[in-house]
Chains A and B, each alone.
Chain A
Amino acid sequence: MGRYAEEVKIIGADVNRLMEISEKNLLSLNLDEMRIIQDYFTSLGRNPTDCEIETIAQTWSEHCYHKIFRADIEYTEKSEKTQKKQKITLLKEIKKATDKVKGDFCISVFKDNAGIIKFDNKYGIAFKVETHNHPSALEPYGGAGTGIGGVIRDILGAGKGAFPILNTDIFCFGLLDASYDKLPEGVLHPRRVFRGVVSGVRDYGNRMGIPTASGAIIFDEGYQNNCLVYCGTLGVIPLDKVEKKVCNGDYVVVVGGRTGRDGIHGATFSSVALDKDISTSVVQIGNPIVEKKMMDVLIKARDENLYNAVTDCGAGGLSSAVGEMGKDVGAVVYLEQVPLKYEGLAPWEIWVSESQERMVLAVPEKNLTRLLQLFSEEDVEATVIGQFIKSGKLEIFYNGEQVCCLDMNFLHRGLPPRKLKASFYLKRPLTDTTTVSGVIDWKERIFNVLGSSNIASKEAVITQYDHEVQAHTIIKPLTGMYHDGPSDAVVLNPLYDRWKGIAVACGINPFYGKIDPYYMAGCCIEEALRNLVAVGADPTKVAILDNFCWGDVNNEENLGALTRCVKGCYDFATGYKLPFISGKDSLNNFFIDKKTGVKTSIPGTLLISSVGIVSDIRKTVTSNLKKEGSCLYICGKTHNEMGMSEYYRVHKIEGGKVPEPLPAETFPLMKKIHKGIKSGIIKSCHDCSDGGFIVALMEMAMGGEKGVSVYLDNIPSSNNSIDVLLFSESQGRFIVEVDRKFKKQFENIMAGSDVRYIGNIEESDEVKVYYKKNLLVEIVLKEAIDTWKGGLKW
């Protein structure tokens, strides 16, 4: 072929040869896809170049193209007696939910780098959550750092650029006390992964000057070989900057960092199983200051209206960024213009490199000089590397030689949906083994749950993040001067000159999914919403994001579980009238132990992130108790839903039903709670979730350093055994503190819902729980705080 590009001999290649090409070049394309490429080039009468085949592989990678979520799935749901078949496309199912409930609150959904909702008449809020699982498993510090760096660029590349105001992070790790000697070869110890990931997010996020203030950490042995690292960013964007459109003649300008051999094949690799021999170039260390400098100038350039469109260089590098921006126009790129970190890169490597901290702008000629000047004023590199030209083609040159010429149409629309089969077996609910016989030390049981790593305080992590930079963190992740209790959600006032704010939270519970991913979806969605309601967000102005991390989806049952989870997403999102505004999937999170050949998949994991509007941040509440003499109420009904509860897992009890959310009861209840908070009647509020009623109560008491007496018998419940009342994780429940003088008003607001007066806040340092008029257990707060704070050590 030419001097700079190699010919890939695909015309006439047989099945074996086609797969050999895919595998040898780490393209991750299957036979059907290779055949489509073969047909395309056969019709052109020539073989592709290495650059072309790499471009196609990037664009069609699972990471970029979401082949599973776009696939036509034939889904079978079986139970003992019945069998139901259904045709379903996962992505359409999610979007269908949004279409049903969105309204004018959603400004941009599922089309840009992030979803955008309306904040007020001038501003919108952009939100995106990404995963960076595989790189983080291999090099936790670099993997997590570049994960957060990447999602920040998504926000900078949303519309014409949103200004980042908050990072969220949610991690799933293996058990920290795992034995060092039993780890498979190539697997880092969960403790090292934990420390590395947290440090990576800390060092990158803190240096970006963006508060990291919302998140969760889950520990389960299922994540030992494949950790999960979710990184999210929210940004503020003026509404007149939401639309972007590349125009014919705009220059392609790359800004920020230089290009090296980093992360080549990152996009194709992200959906390949981990094994210990993966080449090292997929692992990167980021440089946050390069990104920070780029961000500072980018926002200036945006405000001067200097460019028509922007996007980030993420997976697939320039190939994805330029390809995506130019897909309705066409583009010519001169790769020798791209600034390199070092010499020696082949053109295709420049093109698909995933070097961090780069973005691509479409700049009209009249603004080019000013734009380049702005960037150079702050020592940020900005380089013209090509032009968007109305041709419908992607043409790439290197030193005058054409190394790629592809139809945009083929590249972006040439891949037909896959046809897949999925099945799910609905197990009969296992009978409960609830109440354990013998004398029970309830205090010990409560402390076992309170100090378990999943419930315990994440203070050691949270304090390492600068969660207050930008000075707008109104409700912080932990309550009080000394972090003695958790908050349900973080609240920000992103614009200094107004009281309007946003609340951000999440819902995640992979344990429920082990029994039924449908209700897992419901519980995650409800929890993400409930957390916002608990701080005072308006439940009718909330948007959510979905992030699926799944195991081996080539397996029909795993794909079936994923499908059932998506069905849950549809039903419960519409049930609570919550639009999905953005989503992402990371599939094939599994590990093959080279020695034993054993394959382990992660537990199917759904993260729901939520953002809601708070009309006045002064009218929010926190979870910690405020005042002696106040009354405590529980809102919402308790059921025997102990399956996979923290209590069952800690005490190794099997069976039971997972919680089944009830939107028809809970959504109206949430609206009433919101009214109570807004009117100032509710002084503190906390939702019951992991660990059940007693954990929520303890957290309120610890955070407020206030004693309480509560009467379990008063809790409205369909089951009155002590363990259910204390530990069931039934959804739709809040504990609230009401000033005694507002008792009547409160009860009026809540009329029609299951709401009961359960006890009082007292001038003491103990939590006392009564059952059938007897003192069941009393707990000294100091001891509880030590247990809760001691459960997770750095």
Chain B
Amino acid sequence: MGRVYLLEICNKEGIPDVFGIEIKKSIRETGIPEIESVLTSDLYHFEGDLSSEDITKIAEDVLLDGVIQEYFLGDENIKRRGLEYPVVIDVFYKKGVTDAVADTVSIAIKDAGIKKDVKVSTGKRYYLKGQFNREELEKICDKVLANRLVQEYSINILEEKNG
């Protein structure tokens, strides 16, 4: 069994998150006006015999567009953003569903010289600002962020944990 890593890539401060704006609009349409702001990130999940140098190389060389993006390991970015975005939702494809980006990342990792067996999956992370109850959050997930037929999501409410 190899080690597990999660890399998060998002736009640098000052580079607009155009998807966040679109998703906020969609959430409003479902009848949840409380949504104040949404930020999005790409998630890359790796499982394999990777060293921390490998993972840095994957992040900086294979994945990152350093001019406009920055990357974080695990939940570093969640901690950084803190309670300003009290809800974080991760969405991944279910097992067996085509994950084309993951296939490409696997090729790109090999091309970068890391010839190890790595299992890759990709997902999205959404940061939500606003006041929501659990029911509303599930509505947001089911009506906007994910389709349970092909994806699964996890809702992380920071206040609950920290309080």
Please determine whether chains A and B interact with each other in the same assembly. yes
Give B20 Cβ to nearest chain A Cβ, in Å. 16
Give B85 Cβ to nearest chain A Cβ, in Å. 24
B79-112 to A contact mask, C-beta < 8 Å, 1/0: 0000000000000011011111001100000000
Total A residues in contact with B, Cβ cutoff 8 Å: 27
Contact of B98 among A138, A195, A281, A284 (CB under 8 A): A284
Asked whether A180 lies within 8 Å of B31 as measured between CB atoms, the reply is: yes
Kindly state whether residue A662 has any CB partner on chain B within 8 Å: no
Which chain B residue has the least Cβ–Cβ distance from A195? Answer: B26
Kindly state whether residue A159 has any CB partner on chain B within 8 Å: no
Asked whether B150 lies within 8 Å of A280 as measured between CB atoms, the reply is: yes
A107-127 to B contact mask, C-beta < 8 Å, 1/0: 000000000000000000000
Contacts of A782 in B (CB 8 A): none
Interface of B is mostly: loop
Give B42 Cβ to nearest chain A Cβ, in Å. 16
Asked whether A138 lies within 8 Å of B149 as measured between CB atoms, the reply is: yes
Kindly state whether residue A582 has any CB partner on chain B within 8 Å: no
Q: How far is the CA of A82 from the CA of B115 in the complex (A)?
A: 79
A262/B143 contact (C-beta < 8 A), A180-B30, A180-B31, A280-B149 known: no
Contacts of B144 in A (CB 8 A): 192
Q: How far is the CA of A195 from the CA of B30 in the complex (A)?
A: 14
Contacts of A284 in B (CB 8 A): 97-98
Q: How far is the CA of A285 from the CA of B150 in the complex (A)?
A: 8
Q: How far is the CA of A71 from the CA of B144 in the complex (A)?
A: 43
A189/B149 contact (C-beta < 8 A), A285-B93, A287-B100, A342-B96 known: no
Q: How far is the CA of A341 from the CA of B102 in the complex (A)?
A: 13
Asked whether A280 lies within 8 Å of B94 as measured between CB atoms, the reply is: yes
Asked whether B103 lies within 8 Å of A139 as measured between CB atoms, the reply is: no
Give A294 Cβ to nearest chain B Cβ, in Å. 14
Kindly state whether residue B49 has any CB partner on chain A within 8 Å: no
Contacts of A142 in B (CB 8 A): 150
Q: How far is the CA of A138 from the CA of B149 in the complex (A)?
A: 8
Contacts of B96 in A (CB 8 A): 260-262, 281, 341-342
Kindly state whether residue A460 has any CB partner on chain B within 8 Å: no
Contacts of B103 in A (CB 8 A): 287
Contacts of A260 in B (CB 8 A): 96
Which chain B residue has the least Cβ–Cβ distance from A261? Answer: B96
Q: How far is the CA of A341 from the CA of B150 in the complex (A)?
A: 17
Contacts of B136 in A (CB 8 A): none
Q: How far is the CA of A189 from the CA of B30 in the complex (A)?
A: 9
Asked whether B30 lies within 8 Å of A283 as measured between CB atoms, the reply is: no
Query: Considering the complex, which residues of chain A in the window 135-156 have a beta carbon less than 8 Å from any beta carbon of chain B?
Result: 138-139, 141-142
Q: How far is the CA of A341 from the CA of B103 in the complex (A)?
A: 11
Contacts of A95 in B (CB 8 A): none
Q: How far is the CA of A139 from the CA of B150 in the complex (A)?
A: 8
Kindly state whether residue B76 has any CB partner on chain A within 8 Å: no
Asked whether A180 lies within 8 Å of B143 as measured between CB atoms, the reply is: yes
Kindly state whether residue A167 has any CB partner on chain B within 8 Å: no
Number of A-B contacts (CB under 8 A): 50
Asked whether B97 lies within 8 Å of A285 as measured between CB atoms, the reply is: yes
Chain B: interface size category: 10 to 19
Q: How far is the CA of A658 from the CA of B99 in the complex (A)?
A: 48
Asked whether B150 lies within 8 Å of A283 as measured between CB atoms, the reply is: yes
Query: Considering the complex, which residues of chain A in the window 266-290 have a beta carbon less than 8 Å from any beta carbon of chain B?
Result: 280-281, 283-290
Query: Considering the complex, which residues of chain B in the window 120-148 have a beta carbon less than 8 Å from any beta carbon of chain A?
Result: 143-144, 147
Contacts of B104 in A (CB 8 A): 289
Which chain A residue has the least Cβ–Cβ distance from B93? Answer: A285
Kindly state whether residue B29 has any CB partner on chain A within 8 Å: yes
Asked whether B98 lies within 8 Å of A191 as measured between CB atoms, the reply is: no
Asked whether A139 lies within 8 Å of B100 as measured between CB atoms, the reply is: no
Asked whether B150 lies within 8 Å of A191 as measured between CB atoms, the reply is: no
Kindly state whether residue A80 has any CB partner on chain B within 8 Å: no
Which chain A residue has the least Cβ–Cβ distance from B99? Answer: A285
Contact of B147 among A139, A262, A286 (CB under 8 A): A139
Contacts of A138 in B (CB 8 A): 147, 149
A286/B98 contact (C-beta < 8 A), A181-B31, A191-B29 known: yes
Which chain B residue has the least Cβ–Cβ distance from A286? Answer: B98
Kindly state whether residue A473 has any CB partner on chain B within 8 Å: no
Query: Considering the complex, which residues of chain B in the window 50-67 have a beta carbon less than 8 Å from any beta carbon of chain A?
Result: none
Asked whether B98 lies within 8 Å of A189 as measured between CB atoms, the reply is: no
Q: How far is the CA of A281 from the CA of B26 in the complex (A)?
A: 27
Asked whether A139 lies within 8 Å of B143 as measured between CB atoms, the reply is: no
Contacts of B30 in A (CB 8 A): 180, 189
Query: Considering the complex, which residues of chain A in the window 183-232 have a beta carbon less than 8 Å from any beta carbon of chain B?
Result: 188-189, 191-192, 195
Give B124 Cβ to nearest chain A Cβ, in Å. 13
Q: How far is the CA of A138 from the CA of B151 in the complex (A)?
A: 12
Kindly state whether residue A356 has any CB partner on chain B within 8 Å: yes
A276-311 to B contact mask, C-beta < 8 Å, 1/0: 000011011111111000000000000000000000
Contacts of B93 in A (CB 8 A): 285
Asked whether B98 lies within 8 Å of A287 as measured between CB atoms, the reply is: yes
Give A452 Cβ to nearest chain B Cβ, in Å. 20
Q: How far is the CA of A139 from the CA of B97 in the complex (A)?
A: 12
Q: How far is the CA of A752 from the CA of B41 in the complex (A)?
A: 67
Give A97 Cβ to nearest chain B Cβ, in Å. 40
Query: Considering the complex, which residues of chain A in the window 702-729 have a beta carbon less than 8 Å from any beta carbon of chain B?
Result: none
Contacts of A188 in B (CB 8 A): 143, 147
Give A176 Cβ to nearest chain B Cβ, in Å. 9
Q: How far is the CA of A284 from the CA of B26 in the complex (A)?
A: 23
Asked whether B143 lies within 8 Å of A189 as measured between CB atoms, the reply is: yes
Q: How far is the CA of A221 from the CA of B26 in the complex (A)?
A: 21
Asked whether B149 lies within 8 Å of A285 as measured between CB atoms, the reply is: no
Contacts of A283 in B (CB 8 A): 149-150
Q: How far is the CA of A189 from the CA of B31 in the complex (A)?
A: 12
Contacts of A281 in B (CB 8 A): 96
Q: How far is the CA of A342 from the CA of B96 in the complex (A)?
A: 8
Give B116 Cβ to nearest chain A Cβ, in Å. 19
Contacts of A139 in B (CB 8 A): 147, 149-150
Contacts of A356 in B (CB 8 A): 98
Give B123 Cβ to nearest chain A Cβ, in Å. 13
Give A208 Cβ to nearest chain B Cβ, in Å. 13
Which chain B residue has the least Cβ–Cβ distance from A290? Answer: B100
Contacts of B29 in A (CB 8 A): 180, 191
Give A153 Cβ to nearest chain B Cβ, in Å. 16
Which chain A residue has the least Cβ–Cβ distance from B139? Answer: A180
Q: Which of A138, A139, A289 has the most CB of B within 10 A?
A: A139
Q: How far is the CA of A287 from the CA of B104 in the complex (A)?
A: 11
Contacts of A181 in B (CB 8 A): 31
Which chain B residue has the least Cβ–Cβ distance from A141? Answer: B147
A249-262 to B contact mask, C-beta < 8 Å, 1/0: 00000000000111
Q: How far is the CA of A142 from the CA of B99 in the complex (A)?
A: 11
Give B136 Cβ to nearest chain A Cβ, in Å. 12
Asked whether A285 lies within 8 Å of B98 as measured between CB atoms, the reply is: yes
Query: Considering the complex, which residues of chain A in the window 731-788 have a beta carbon less than 8 Å from any beta carbon of chain B?
Result: none
Q: Mind listing 28 A-B residue pairs with CB under 8 Å?
A: A138-B149, A139-B147, A139-B150, A180-B29, A188-B147, A189-B143, A191-B29, A192-B26, A192-B143, A192-B144, A260-B96, A261-B96, A262-B96, A280-B94, A280-B149, A281-B96, A283-B149, A285-B93, A285-B99, A285-B150, A286-B98, A287-B100, A287-B103, A288-B100, A289-B100, A290-B100, A341-B96, A342-B96
Across chains A and B, which 8 residue pairs bring their CB atoms closest together, nearest first? Answer: A287-B100, A285-B98, A280-B149, A283-B149, A139-B147, A287-B98, A139-B149, A180-B30
Given contacts A180-B143, A285-B150, A286-B98, 13 further A-B contacts (CB under 8 A): A138-B147, A138-B149, A139-B149, A181-B31, A189-B30, A260-B96, A262-B98, A284-B97, A285-B100, A288-B100, A289-B100, A289-B104, A290-B100
